[in-house]
Amino acid sequence: MLKSFYRAAVFPAAIRLGLDKVLRRLSERKRIILMYHGVVPKPDLKLSVNHLSVNDFEQHMAYLNRSFKIRKLCDLFEDYRNDVVPKDYEVAITFDDGYANNYHYAFPVLKQLKMPATIFMVTKALDNPNHILWYDFIDGVKPQIDYKSLTAVNFGFPPSKEGVFKKIRDAESLKAFMKLISVIEKNRIIQWITEQGIQPDTTGHKEFFELLSAEQIKEMTDSGLIEIGSHTHNHPNLSEISVSEAEQEISYSKALIERITGDAVESIAFPDGSYNEEIKNLCINAGYRNLLAVDYKLKSDIYKKNILSRFCISNTTTNESNFLRLGVRFLFEP
């Protein structure tokens, strides 16, 4: 009840009074990278919490356009590397996963306002146009899964993970577990689920599942507004898989995107924000210059010039709440 009151009355009043501007002005920080996922006509939290409505996205972009200097991600990184102090408050806009709804609904808004953005693509869809991201698959079938039967199956997990697996009781604990396992192990679970006759109902919900095509990527990059970065090939937790698997995920996704765009891919966003020192080195050796985390996993990264954290826009709160959270991020986060 109190949360609803704040969202309906307090946060809008705070924005009207300019509290978001006050928070920024109190901060020494001048640049932030924003992270979105999807944009759809009508969100459905039962299907996915990853997508903002078109109407809210339009309001977000209008707010950002009048409140900040909008930078290309590569330019923001270059200034950061060269210790350039921004004169204005700056933001770069990014999207994770590479949903086709970025092309259908976000790109027209960005184009109209001439606002650049970077889309981090899970490139499996470029090999298989019908590919559904593993976490979208779980969200799409979660009411139908018999978790007791699932956890009774012997998938051959090592003892350290088997104990966690046996405690799965719902979709959220299943997704948390799947972040800890390899692509092959994820696919075993998904195969078992499909063998039970369970599939996501994508009929009428294509915008929640469909990923970008090569043609859509090419059109957006040719506009000069959109950069396509890597979000790996299969969206694994890079710090939980073998070095050879991680290297393949990092390099293969880069090559696929470059083949389509003809441009060097210099930016990569770590799936689930997960990385370690070895993963960073693999990315740099593969030719990436801009590494995107969610939060810093290593304290020293605050001072490194090739990695930056991001502010995740919530799809489950109000616009005013997001705008105030952004102001707080300017003031208090590293």
pLDDT in tens, 46-58: 889 899 999 999 9
Give me the domains of the chain, ranges plus CATH numbers.
Answer: 2-131+203-332 (3.20.20.370), 134-195 (no CATH)
Whether residue 35 is predicted with pLDDT greater than 90 in this model: the reply is: yes
Reduced to 3 DSSP states, what percent helix, strand and coil does the chain have, rounded to the nearest 5?
50, 15, 35
C-beta atoms surrounding 219 within 10 Å: 13
**For helices 183-195 and 171-178, angle between their N-to-C axes, nearest 10 degrees:** 150
List helix spans (H) across 6-95. Answer: 11-16, 19-25, 54-67, 73-81
Residue 172's alpha-carbon distances to 24, 143, 181, in angstroms, are 35, 12, 15
For residue 87, count CB atoms less than 10 angstroms from its CB and return exposed for 0-12, middle for 13-18, buried for 19 or more.
exposed
Whether residue 332 is predicted with pLDDT greater than 90 in this model: the reply is: no
Q: Mean of the pLDDT values across residues 161-179?
A: 96
> What pLDDT digit, counting tens, does each position of 257-283 carry?
999 999 999 999 999 999 999 999 999
> What pLDDT digit, counting tens, does each position of 124-138 carry?
999 999 999 999 999
What pLDDT was estimated at residue 334?
63
What pLDDT was estimated at residue 201?
86
Residue 273 carries which DSSP code? G
Considering only residues 202 and 146, tell me which one the structure prediction assigns the higher pLDDT.
146
Strands 31-36, 38-40: pairing is unpaired
What pLDDT was estimated at residue 214?
97
Closest CA to 125 of 45, 217, 199: 217
What pLDDT was estimated at residue 125?
94
> What pLDDT digit, counting tens, does each position of 187-238 carry?
999 999 999 999 998 888 999 999 999 999 999 999 999 999 999 999 999 9
Whether residue 324 is predicted with pLDDT greater than 80 in this model: the reply is: yes
d(CA 118, CA 265) in angstroms, rounded, equals 11
d(CA 218, CA 257) in angstroms, rounded, equals 10
**Displacement of CA 244 from its chain's centroid (Å):** 24
